[in-house]
Amino acid sequence: MTNISAEMRAAVGRQLSRRVSYPVSRSDIRRWALAVYYPEPPPSRFIDADAAAKSRWGSILAPEDFNPFAWISAEEDVLDVGAAQNTPDRTEIGLGITPPGLKFQLNGGLHSEYGAPMRPDDVITSVSRLADYTERSGRLGLMLFTVFEDTWTNDDGDLVKRTRTTLIRY
């Protein structure tokens, strides 16, 4: 038995979304740092340009985990999933292929590798692809692992980060 159809295997590598951010703002960096360090104050290098200038980076940088696409993107090309937005089948529905129809989903984990840091005024481009399907039996039965690979680049075309996210469905 398998939940991975030939149609699903053939879809591996397809683009799921492409987004372009608005320029990264100092204010968004400050607020992000305040939120993720709460209730402690964030390091001054995320807040204070003079403190940041004395760091090895020479200026304010965004935290590595900063998300410039959070509220809205300047450009967005995403799959149309209709009412399936939060359902386990949304990826296959968006790709126009028959979904596996599993009922439950979990975020299995993240892996990010980092390149150029994000700085104020950077415009970040994200391209997300369907990277892999695998499956194995576990305590929840036959589990389907779907890997998404999201690659971010900056205005210069430098790699900012590459994140692989694993969705577990069962």
Partner 1 sequence: MSINVADAQVGDRLPEQTRTTDFANWNRYAAVNYEFVPIHMDDEAGRSAGFASAFGMGNLQWAYLHNLVRDWLGDAGRIVAIDCRFGSPNIRGATVTAQGVVTARRVQGGTTFLDLEIWTQDQDGTKLAPGTATVALE
Residue 8 or residue 160: which is nearer to partner 1 going by CB?
A: 160
Measured distance CA(22)–CA(100) in Å, rounded: 36
Residues numbered 5 to 34 that lie near partner 1 (CB under 8 A) are 28, 31-32, 34
Among 14, 26, 43, 120, contact with partner 1 (rule: CB under 8 A): 43
Question: Does the footprint of partner 1 cover residue 80 (CB under 8 A)?
Answer: no
Element (H, E) at 129: strand 125-138
**What tokens appear for 87 in the block?**
């359902």
Question: Does the footprint of partner 1 cover residue 35 (CB under 8 A)?
Answer: yes
**What tokens appear for 25 in the block?**
């703002």
Residue 8 or residue 28: which is nearer to partner 1 going by CB?
A: 28
Please give the backbone phi and psi of residue 120, each rounded to the nearest 5 degrees, phi first. -55, 140
CB atoms within 10 A of CB 95: 19
Q: Is 159 helix (H, G, I), strand (E, B) or coil?
A: strand
Question: Does the footprint of partner 1 cover residue 39 (CB under 8 A)?
Answer: yes
Least CB distance from residue 109 to partner 1, whole Å? 3
Fill in the per-residue mask, 124 to 163: x = in contact with partner 1 (CB under 8 A), - = not in contact. Answer: ----------------------------------------
Among 41, 101, 109, 138, contact with partner 1 (rule: CB under 8 A): 109
Residues numbered 111 to 130 that lie near partner 1 (CB under 8 A) are 111-114, 117
CB atoms within 10 A of CB 68: 25
Contact 107, 167 (CB under 8 A): yes
Contact 47, 164 (CB under 8 A): no
Binding site for partner 1 (CB under 8 A): 28, 31-32, 34-40, 43, 55-56, 63-65, 67, 70-71, 106-114, 117, 166
